[in-house]
Structure 1
Amino acid sequence: MCVLFASCLKDVSRAMRVWLNPAWQLESAGSTVTFQGEKKKYVLDDSKGVVSRLMAALEDGCENEALKALTSRDSDCESLVRALRKRGLLIESPSGPAGDDSIHARQWGHLALHTPRPDEAQRRICDATVMVMGVGGTGSVILQHLIGAGVRRFVLVDTDNVQLNNLNRQFTFPRAAVGEPKLDASQSYIRDRVSDAEVSLVDRFVTSSADIEELLEAHTDVDVIAVCIDQPIGSISDAVSESAWGRDVPSIFGGVGMQRGFYGPLFAPGKSTVTPERLAFSARADDAGSTADSGDLRSTRYSFGPHNTIIGAWMAASIIHHIAGITELVDYDVRKIIDFETGRITAQTR
């Protein structure tokens, strides 16, 4: 039978420990124990009390070696632990779920839902360097989510000043920043939330492949690029993606129109089976074979804030999941097109 080992102490050491996955709710009723998730649930027979005792041992984390010793002497516990691991109901971490006073406390459950090592996923996020090219309509939204997720190193590229008409969708800028360079205002936003953030500012209007090559050559430590510039329309985003691909740097592009928007794929050498050239943004809507896809979008001076937020948030999620190593949630080969009027999402693979 399972017993509560003395080594499963409440004071957390740096040794690897096993924990119940906080993304699942645990419910006990009579002789059953239920792990309840949003999409599925597992109901376990606890008539022998094996489940309850193991849960008690894992409540505050149990050192891996202690758990191995326990299961080696108890076949019931060994089978149960194996089944729980297989279904993602156990995680491993030296420190366990973060308390509510941690910045990333509420993100921990999401990471744990998709990886048995949420602490390692969080470390990757915190250690990453992200280049955001254009900190306007979608770039500012991406920036917000990257900061919230734990990214601390940024390369920001922009040349614009904050305008009053930006404030319907670019929420990183206070009204007092109107007239200031967007780069300076973005840096202030980052530093207000992450005092030790490393921020490189590039005040440069990128218009050619040569510009892009110089930019990437100057910042070789970038882990992923968010392409949020659309001038010249289409061609510049393609040029960035192709240059980044040639340097083995992942990149993602998104666009927002009046009725539709799109994002992706996240082009990542070694993970993507399509190249940026294959999914190049159509420069003309009346190209031969053109359909109602992302190539039909046109640059417009008008905007509706929620639409920028939708595209920016999906782009940010792709970047964060890629950095964290949660690759099953990243579209590496598909561009998603969202109809803002119906909510319908279609996939573009050419």
Structure 2
Amino acid sequence: MRVALKECLWEPFGDDLIVVSDPREAVIVADPRGRIAAYLEELSEGPKSVAELRGALADRGVRLSEAEVRSALRGLDTLGLVEPACRRFGVPETDERHAAGLAFFGAFTGLDRPRTHFVQRLRDAHVLVLGAGGIGSSIIQCLAGLGVGHFTIVDHDQVEPGDFAHQFLYRRADIGRSKAERAAEWVRDHDPAIEVRAVDRWISSPEDLLDLVGDADVLTGGLDGRPDAHFWLNEAAVRAGLPLVAGRMDHSRLSYYSVDPGRSACLNCAASEDLDPVEHDSAWIATRLAGDLQPADGLIAPLAQHIGSLIACEALRYLTGFESPRAAGSYVHVDLRAGLVPEWAPFPRDPGCPVCAMAPERPAPPPDPR
């Protein structure tokens, strides 16, 4: 394997070396003999194998054994400064298509995982998106841009004039058409390499999803209408061992959550934490009224894009493992009145949860590379 240096700059400062690969922070390492600087300088000239690097250092008067060079590279890897030298995908069009993703994942690579590892996982991934409305359409656009290779899009609505305030998959000519079909067309136009299936179906129970979850890697989106719809998604996902990332809007507050079956609490755990209300208590009355309230759809475009992108980022964590899920077993609330600052509200896992008991055994997740 040939080793490449990531994008970084460095400068000696006394007996130390200051290295910057992220503008937000600097790494200061002791380098009294200038050996680390020598490694960086040699690798900056191009990728090298251990033998090549050892020879180049010897020409500088730094004579090291192969084991010492390997140990030093592991140290640079710990600092996040090196990665495997790869030809990316070897196809110029593919490299250009995924250039932004390859650049982004550079911050999370190491000698054991090249940049192509993450992008290839996206290209191989299958995402099941429930709902192609305000939040769902934003999720679809984000995930298609990331390069997810396979989609199943489920919706039973038709395009209406009111959708144009926050749903940018659709055009005036689409009024009256199936949202699922039109969203699938948008994905194909955006990237013909993406495989997409449209399902025009009304979801009214977990059973309505059984034939759709089998080969998916993540279930995402959300269902409007009945307040218990998210519990249907939760049960279907947990039974299939499928990570779930979904969200919704309540007035000016956006909320999303994720469920990692068998590893995190699920929505049913959250429901079991609720205390039985005292009848006619003021808090009980307020809760009942809030549950019965049916506000008008006030999801404006900036909020739809905001919550859709947050959900897409959480789905990205599950699909690639570039970092651990941030919302597993938690609601994340983002309130416009509070400046859209995220607030986490974990729901403790219920050991007796009957839904969690349905989760199949899954292999342990890979360790967080950070």
Does TM, scored on the shorter chain, surpass 0.5? yes
| Residue aligning to 2:86 | 94
Corresponding position: 1:261 with 2:254: yes
The one of 153, 157, 161 equivalent to 2:154 is: 157
Provide the residue aligned with 2:355 in structure 1.
Answer: none
- Give the paired residue count: 324
User: 1:154 aligns to what SS in structure 2?
Assistant: strand
The one of 215, 226, 229 aligned to 1:221: 215
Structure 1, 150-159 or 294-303: larger mean CA deviation: 294-303
The residue aligned with 1:51 is 36
* Aligned residue runs from structure 1 range 249-328, under 5 A: 249-264=242-257, 266-272=258-264, 274-280=265-271, 288=284, 300-328=296-324
Measure, in 2, the Cα distance between the counterparts of 1:173 and 1:270: 38
Question: Aligned to 2:132, which of 131, 135, 141?
Answer: 135
Aligned counterparts, 1:1-350, within 5 A: 16-22=1-7, 25-28=8-11, 32-44=17-29, 48-59=33-44, 60-63=46-49, 73=65, 77-78=69-70, 80-95=72-87, 102-116=96-110, 117=113, 118-212=115-209, 216-233=210-227, 235-264=228-257, 266-272=258-264, 274-280=265-271, 288=284, 300-342=296-338, 343-350=340-347
Name the larger-Rg structure: 2
CA distance in 1, matches of 2:305, 2:231: 22
Q: Secondary structure at the match of 1:62?
A: coil
Distance (whole Å) between structure 2 residues aligned to residue 105 and residue 86 of structure 1 = 25
Q: Which amino acid aligns with 2:48?
A: C
- Give deviations 1:92-132, integer Å, cap 9, x for gaps: 25325998961221222332223422321211111000000
CA distance 1:316–1:218, change in 2 (3 Å): closer
Q: TM-score, normalization: structure 1?
A: 0.80
Q: CA deviation at 1:208?
A: 1.9
CA distance in 2, matches of 1:287, 1:66: 72
Name the structure where helix makes up a greater proportion of residues.
Answer: 2
CA distance in 1 between partners of 2:104 and 2:191 (Å): 22
TM-score, normalised via structure 2 length: 0.76
> How many angstroms apart in 2 are the aligned matches of 1:150 and 1:240?
24
Gaps of 5+ in 1: 1-15
CA RMSD of the aligned region, Å? 3.4
Instruction: Confirm or deny: 8 A CA contact 1:17 1:95 kept in the other structure.
Output: no
Match of 2:96, SS state, is coil
State which drifts further: 330-339 or 53-62: 53-62
Q: Partners of 2:293 and 2:12 in 1: how far apart?
A: 55
* Distance in 2 of aligned mates of 1:146 and 1:168: 21
Q: CA deviation at 1:290?
A: 8.6
